Chain A
Amino acid sequence: ILNVEQSPQSLHVQEGDSTNFTCSFPSSNFYALHWYRWETAKSPEALFVMTLNGDEKKKGRISATLNTKEGYSYLYIKGSQPEDSATYLCASESMDSNYQLIWGAGTKLIIKP
């Protein structure tokens, strides 16, 4: 069974604090790991696609790292702002999934002003 787990399920963070959360995915025949940001009443928006072990990507205050050998990725947000409030989804793509995205349930991030 191909399972993608995200933790924590939800997170309350004070504005200005930094935070991070985890995505665990099957490491077998890995192809790519995707991070999406999903704001209420909007479409999920692609943040990063990562393919190489040890890769680190950055977009403004948001960055992500990837460990394909142990099957995890971290998403970091530095200096959280209210507009960062959203659900962050990760999805794994592998040969085992026939290159379909297997999605985690998301981490709901709430930034407290």
Chain B
Amino acid sequence: SQTIHQWPATLVQPVGSPLSLECTVEGTSNPNLYWYRQAAGRGLQLLFYSVGIGQISSEVPQNLSASRPQDRQFILSSKKLLLSDSGFYLCAGGENYGYTFGSGTRLTVV
């Protein structure tokens, strides 16, 4: 089974600063990978998913971008953070009949 590593656990960034969150996968090859965000009091919102290296699908228009430079690496980025980017970000890998999640990053934009 796969393990998802995600870091950092918490991050406080000023408005207008760049962002890079990294997610790596262990225990499987060519996984489907996902970035989710949970805003306060809401469910998980799918931001991006990737079915392979260099393949990114965006689900919602936003200030963020994602890249998959390697099979087991999925990166969430922003050039200039907005206050509304604050939230809890989760990386997930798809397996047969379910997902495995990373431990999440709580991002606070100040």
A43 to B7, CA, bound (A): 13
Chain A interface (Cβ < 8 Å from any Cβ of B): 4, 6, 32, 34, 42-44, 46, 49, 89, 91, 100-101, 103-106
Find out whether the CB atom of A46 lies under 8 angstroms from the CB atom of B49. Answer: no
Shortest Cβ gap from B103 to chain A (Å): 5
* Residue from B4, B90, B101 having most chain A Cβ neighbours under 10 A: B101
Q: Report the interface size for chain B: residues with CB under 8 A from the other chain.
A: 19
- Chain B residue nearest to A51 in the complex (CB): B97
Find out whether the CB atom of B103 lies under 8 angstroms from the CB atom of A43. Answer: yes
A103 to B47, CA, bound (A): 13
Q: List 9 A-B contacts (CB under 8 A).
A: A6-B43, A42-B103, A43-B103, A46-B98, A100-B46, A100-B59, A101-B99, A103-B45, A105-B42
Question: How many cross-chain pairs have Cβ atoms below 8 Å apart between A and B?
Answer: 39
A17 to B102, CA, bound (A): 32
* Given A42-B103, A49-B98, A105 contacting B43 (CB threshold 8 A): yes
Which single member of A49, A103, A106 contacts B97 (CB below 8 Å)?
A49
